[in-house]
Structure 1
Amino acid sequence: DKKQIPTCMPSKCLDPPLHENHLVLKEIPNEVGVVRFSCKDGHVLEGSSVLKCLPSQQWNDSFPICKLVFCSSPPELTYGEPIFVPSLYFGSTVKYTCVDGFLLKGDSVITCNASGMWSPNFPNCSPIECQQPEEILNGIVDVQGLTFLSAALYTCKPGYELIGNSTLICGADGYWQGGKPICKPIRCSKAKEIPNGRYSFQSLHYGQTITYTCNRGFRLQGQNVLTCLETGEWNSNPPSCMEITCDPPQGIDNGFVEGADYSYGAMIIYSCMPGFQLVGFAMQ
C-alpha cells in the first residue's frame, strides 16, 4: 500500500470560553493562531484583547472576560419625587416625576448606556406658572405671583360689591383655582314710605339720592335728601311729615274769636260785641 504523505497542522489550543466569558472572537488574517477578543454591547473587556496559541498548545495569556457595564447612581431631582433604581447595569432605566406644582423639563426616562453613562441628559423640575389672571369690570386684581400656590386678590372699586371668591390660587395644572368673581353695583334697600309724604328717585345704587316731600298741610322734619352709601345703607333715616298747625289766635278787645280748629286750612272768624264795629278782615 502506498503510504499517505503527512502534513503539518498548526498547533491547536483549547477553545476560548466564549459563552462563559461573554466574549466575541475574531481571528486576525495572515496571523496563524492569533485571535482578537471583544465584547457585546453593554459589556467591557477585562484582560488581554489579543491572544496567541503557542507551539506548546497553550495560550500566551489567560482569557479575558466581559463584565457588564454599570452606571453611577442617578441623582434625585430638586422638587422631584423619590426615584426607584432597580439596578445600575447596562440597559437599566429610571423614571423621573416632579412633585405637585412643578413641571418636568426633559425626558422622564433615562437609560444606562453601553458607555456607562445615563442618557439622555437628566431632566429638571421647573415651577408651574399660571397665566396673568383676568381683569374684572369695576374691580382691581392684585397678583401676588404666578407660580404654583401663588394668590391673586380681587377687590372692587367704591360703590361695587364682590360676588364670588376674592382669592384665586395658582393650581398644580397651571390654571387659577376658584373662579373669576364679578363686581356688582351696590344697591341700597327700597326707600321707606312716610305718612303724609312721598319720595322720588332715579336709582337705588351707590351715590344716588332719594328726595322726600310732604303733602300740603304738612311740614318736613328731618333730611329731605338721602344718599346711598358704599355700605349699601342710606346716609340718614327717612324724615317725617308733621301736620302744620297755627298758634291760638290773639283775642281782641270788645270782641271774640269763633273757631277751635287751628290746623292747616282751617278758618277763624272775628266778631265784635254789640255797639262795636270790626275794622279789618273778619275771616282768617
Structure 2
Amino acid sequence: MNLVYNVVFFLSLALHASAQVPSKCGAPPSYPHTQIEDMKPKKGISSHVQKVLYRCAEGYTQNSGIRSIKCQAGKWTQLTMTCEKKNCGSAGELFNGYFQYMGSFYGDKANAVCNEGFTLKGMEYRICKDSGWSGEIPTCEEGGEPQVVPAEVTCPAPSVANGVKLSETVSVYRVRDSVTLVCSEGFLLTGAQQLTCGPDGQWQPELPLCLPFNDIIESPKPDGRCGVPPYLSNAHLSDCCRAQADFGPGHRVRYSCAMGYIRGRGTYYSTCVSGRWTPVTLRCERKSCGSAGEMSFGHFVYTGAQFGDTATGVCNEGYQLVGQNVRNCMNDGWDGRVPVCEAVQCAKLPEVVNGEINGHLEPPYVYSTVISYRCRVGKLIGTSELYCTKDGTWSAPPPECKDIKCPYPKVQYAQMTRGIRMPLEFGDSVTFVCFRGMVMNGPGTVTCSLDGTWTPALPTCQYRWY
C-alpha cells in the first residue's frame, strides 16, 4: 500500500513540475505589411514571450482580424489581422487644370496638368503619403513662365519594433539624413545599426529587426546548430532567413547587395558549420552612374558619381537653366534629364524720338548683344551704346535726341575767339576775350545747356581803372 502511495505521490510531483516548465516559442513570425509593436513576457519568466502585438506598417491600415498572436505549446498562433494600403482619395481641385492620377493609394503620384494657355505654379506632383497627399495644391495661372517646384524626396520615420532611435528625432527625413538604432533591453539588433535616407525615399540598408535576446543568444543550440547569420554591410539576407534565429548544420544562407550597391568581390553564401557561420567574403560597392551628361553653355557640379550622389547643373554667365537642375544617382542610373542652358534675353527697347539704331538688328536681344544709337535731329543725350547684361537688363537707359539751341551770345566790349559757328546747339562752347584796356568779370568760356541757356552766365567787360 505504501509502495503504491509513494509511486502516485512522485508521479504527481513530476507532472506538477512538468506543468511549471513553459513551452518556449522561437522568434515571432513576420507578416506582409506589418510590424511588431510590443512583446509581453510570461508572468514570472522574463525570457519567455507569451504574447506579441502587431501593427500595420506605414502606409497601411488595419482591415480586419485581431492584431495579436500567442505562444501555445511551443508554437505561435496565426495572425488574423490583414492590412491594406491607405487610400488618399482626391488630391484636390485644380482650377484651370486637373490631376492625372497614377493611383490614389500609398506611394502613388498625382501629376498636376494645366489647361492650354495656363502655366503651373507650385509642385508638379503630389505623392500619397501615410498622412495624406504631400505638399500643397498648385495653381494654374494664365500666361507667364512656369514656376515648377520639384517635389522633395523624403523618407518615412524609421519604425522598428522594440527599437529606439539614438539620433535626434525630426519631423522630416531628407536624402542623406542618417539615424542610429538600438534595441530595447532584452532584445538584440539583427541588421544595420545606422540607416541613411536614399534618393529613392527608402532607408539604406533596409530596416533591421530587434529579436528577443534570450531566444537568440541564451537559448542553447543542440550539437552544431547556428544562430543569427552575421551582419554584412550594404547587403541583406534573402527573404526566407531574415526573421529566423535557428539554423541546422549545413544550412546555407544567401546574401544580396542592397539597392544601389553591386558586388565588388567575394561569394554570396555563408554555411552553418560546427555551430559557426563560415566567413562572408561578399563585398558590396556603391553603383557608379558615370557622367550625368554634357551641358551646352554649362556644366555639372558633382558631389560624386556613385549611388546617392548628386550632380547639379550650372549655366555659364549670361545663360539661364531650363529644367530640373539636380540629378540623383539612383539604382538604375541618373534620374531626370540633362537640363538646357538658354541665353538670357533683354526686352525690346523703346524707340528714340528723332533717333535710330545703327545697322539692322532684330530681336531677340540675347546676352552680350550691343545696340548703338545715332540722332537724325538734335544731339544725343545719354549713352550711345547699350549692351544686354547677364541679368537680362540693358546696361543703361536708352538715350534721347534733343534739338536744343542757345541764343547768339553778345558780350559788350568783347569778341569770341572760339566756337564761332551757327546755330549754337546743346553742348557747344564759346570763349570771349575783352578788348584792350578792359577787364573781364566772370568766366571767359560758357556752354549751351539743356534748357537752352548759357552756363555759367555770360561775362562782362569793364574799363580798367588804375
TM range (shorter): 0.5 to 0.7
- Give the 3 Å change call, closer, same or farther, for CA 99–121 of structure 1 in structure 2: closer
Runs of 4+ in 1 over 6 A off after TM superposition: 115-120
Map 1:1-284 to 2 at 5 A: 70-71=225-226, 73-81=228-236, 83-85=242-244, 87-90=246-249, 92-104=251-263, 112=272, 123-171=282-330, 173-200=331-358, 202=361, 204-216=365-377, 218-247=378-407
- CA shift, 1:104, in A, is 4.7
In structure 2, do the counterparts of structure 1 residues 86 and 112 end up closer, same or farther at CA, with 3 Å as the change threshold?
same
- For 1:143, give the aligned amino acid: Y
Give the match's secondary structure for 2:345: coil
Contact 2:269–2:280, Cα closer than 8 Å, also in 1: no
- Residue-by-residue CA offset, 1:163-215 (whole Å, 9 max, x unaligned): 223322211x1411242112212221112212222224536222221112223
Q: 1:224 to 1:199 in 2, by over 3 A?
A: same
2:43 aligned residue: none
**Separation in structure 1 between the aligned mates of residue 345 and residue 372 of structure 2, nearest angstrom:** 16
In 2, Cα distance between equivalents of 1:125 and 1:88:
25
What amino acid does structure 2 have at the position aligned with 1:74?
A: P
Q: How many residues align?
A: 184
- 1:222 deviates by 0.5
Contact 1:80 1:97 survives alignment (8 Å): yes
Post-superposition shift, 1:238? Answer: 0.6
Identity %: 29
Aligned-CA RMSD value: 3.5
Whole-Å separation in 1 of the counterparts to 2:249 and 2:409: 122
CA deviation profile, 1:53-102 (whole Å, cap 9, x unmatched): xxxxxxxxxxxxxx986456421111234733363114645343444432
Judging by fraction of residues, say which structure has more helix: 2
Contact kept? 1:144, 1:150, Cα under 8 Å: yes
The structure where strand makes up a greater share of residues is 2
Q: 1:131 to 1:170 in 2, by over 3 A?
A: same
Q: Which amino acid aligns with 2:398?
A: P
* Higher RCO structure (Cα 8 Å, ≥6 apart): 1
Note closer, same or farther for the CA distance 1:127–1:175 as it changes in structure 2 (3 Å cut): same
TM-score of the superposed pair, with normalisation by structure 2: 0.34
The letter for the 1-side match of 2:374 is: T
Kindly provide the amino acid, as one letter, of the partner of residue 185 in structure 1.
A
Change (3 A) 1:117 1:249: closer
Q: Which runs of 5+ in 1 are unaligned?
A: 1-66, 251-261, 265-284
- The structure whose Rg is larger is 1
Structure 2 residue matching 1:153: 3-state secondary structure? strand
Contact 2:353/2:401 (8 A) holds in 1: yes
